[in-house]
Amino acid sequence: MYIFKNALKNITRSKGRNILIGAVIVIISATSCIALAIRSSAGEIVSSYEDSFEITASLSVDREALRDLMMSQSEGSRGSMRDLMAEIESPGMAEIEKYGDSEYVDHYTCTLSIGMDSSGLEPLTNDDPENADQTESGAGQGMPGGGSGLPIERGDFTVIAYSSLQAMDRFISGDNTITSGSMFGENETQPVCVISDELAAYNDLTVGDTILMNKPGDEENSYTLAIAGIYKDTSVDDSAMNWFSNSANQIITAFPAVQEIAGTDAQISATFYLNNINDLQSLETEMKNKGLNEYYILTTNDSALEQTLRPLENLNDFAGIFLLIVLIIGGAILMILTMINTRERKYEIGVLRAIGMKKGKLAAQFVAELLIVSFISLLIGASVGALASVPTAQALLQNEIESIQNERSSIEENFGMAPGAGGGRFGGGQGGGREIMGGMFEPNANVDHISRINAVINFRVMLQLLLIGLGVTLCATMVSVVLISRYEPLRILSGRS
């Protein structure tokens, strides 16, 4: 108790010195509080987003492996890449169901696509209308990704069916929106379809009308589809030569209808929803064991997750580095102030030691003084940090997002495109482009960065701040303890003039 009372008296007696020490500790605790709050909140957001983000995988042809195979052949017998791809048998529905039956897969969706013609529909074309009858529409435009990569049979229209509404990512993202009628049910068995508003207006079609479809070159066998809804493609295409959206000639129908029409001729695209991103390699190995062709690989959307969380992760790293720098510099300044304080009180130490106070009690008094000042300063610093953490974190996050966006714009300009042109895609059209950012030339959707972070001061942050404060304080007091242990009272008193 004597040590505590004497420590309080010494604090009030040397106000200026202790205010200076307290100010240093306030700065250390406030900045540490901000950094800890940012790291804690960013970590929680990253963890929560990773848990909610659906990691998907899709099968695609390993073009690099095919290229190596082609180059390994002798020049006389070397075929083209198209010939090699045509020789690879793409997985059918039976294989997809077998691959989807895995402990690593939560669920999977399928997309069937086939090129079709129609005797009663006029396809939209980007060519001169006078020459429209001399051109083909190109059924492969805007095809869903993740397929085998093999070309489907050419036709004026692309008939697409999804096994689940979850597979209709363009409707989920808002690129496509139903404007008339409605989307058919997921378990629809009737031959119904939805078409684009452009195709409907061009052919004067409304909900309830029927259309006749046939396979290219087989006009004798036709299939009737009733229009259940009309959708609008809201995605922007800045290409001046593209008069219509890429989905203008796409007809979306029920899964059973395409299976009946196409049989085994449809191109199959499957998306597997993984339980964990770390299961990708295990799932690919299992698929190979189940008979998947060696020239097929699994690709995932993990780059979208990485790009979405990139600003937060950068902010988390920055906060950690900033905290370390503050502790090093602040701790060094505090040690210097403590050393100066101890040297200035050398005569006091000599008197107390001369009247019989032991080194341990004297050191404990100096430690108690600094701990009291530190505790009060920590409370003030924590309050300041709590008030400043949210706006500081928000400003830093916005700067990080702007930095990434500027980097993306710079790369687009390097390719001679206006910043943001074509949705950030290299090559302009949808379906044929590849993202400039988002994994550097990896196919990816436009990245929506997490743009808000609430740096909350919780119990964990306060506990970490308390431990840091105590740690810095104890390190600083070690200077006093060392100096006190080295001082000899008689030498101190005899040397006083």
- pLDDT the model gives residue 230: 93
| Distance, CA of 251 to CA of 244 (rounded, Å) | 15
Q: Where are the alpha helices (DSSP H) in 101-216?
A: 169-173, 197-202
The per-residue b/e assignment along 172-183, b for 16 or more CB within 10 angstroms, e otherwise, is: eeebbeeeebeb
Backbone angle region of 270, left / alpha / beta, with phi > 0 → left and psi within -120 to 50 → alpha: beta
Q: In this model, does residue 107 exceed pLDDT 60? A: yes
What pLDDT was estimated at residue 209? 93
Domain assignments of the chain as residue spans, ordered by start: 2-53+307-494, 56-300
Name the pTM for this structure: 0.57
> Tell me: the pLDDT tens digits for 38-94?
787 777 777 767 776 778 888 888 778 777 777 777 665 666 666 666 667 778 888
The string of DSSP codes covering 69-132 is HHHHS-TTT---HHHHHHHSPPP-HHHHHHHHSSTTEEEEEEEEEEEEB-SS-PPP-SS-GGGG
Task: Render pLDDT for 253-301 as a digit per residue (tens, 0 to 9).
Answer: 888 877 777 666 678 888 898 888 788 888 888 998 988 888 888 888 8
Between these two residues, 434 and 10, which has the higher pLDDT value? 10
More confident residue, 337 or 440: 337
Q: What confidence score (pLDDT) does residue 229 get?
A: 92
pLDDT, tens digit, for every residue of 179-207? 999 888 877 888 899 999 999 999 999 99
Residue 446 φ then ψ, to 5°: -60, 135
State the pLDDT at residue 262: 67
Q: Could you give the 3-state DSSP secondary structure of residue 68?
A: helix
Count other C-beta atoms under 10 Å from residue 324's C-beta. 11
* pLDDT given for residue 110 in this prediction: 85
Q: Contact 405/310 with Cβ under 8 angstroms?
A: no
pLDDT tens readout for residues 130-172 = 444 433 334 333 333 334 444 445 788 988 888 888 788 888 8
What's the pLDDT tens digit per position in 455-464? 556 777 788 8
pLDDT value of position 428: 36
Mean pLDDT value across the chain = 75
254 backbone dihedrals φ, ψ, rounded to 5°: -75, 150
Dihedral-angle region of residue 61 (phi above 0 means left; psi in -120 to 50 means alpha; beta otherwise): beta
Span 118-141, pLDDT tens digits? 888 888 876 554 444 433 334 333
SS3 per-residue string spanning 391-425: HHHHHHHHHHHHHHHHHHHHHHHHCCCCCCHHHHE
DSSP letter string over 445-485?
PPP-----------HHHHHHHHHHHHHHHHHHHHHHHHHHH
Q: Of residues 399 and 356, which shows the higher confidence score?
A: 356
**Exposure string for 356-393, b = 16+ CB within 10 A, e = fewer:** ebeeeebbbbbbbbbbbbbeebbeebbebbbebbbebb
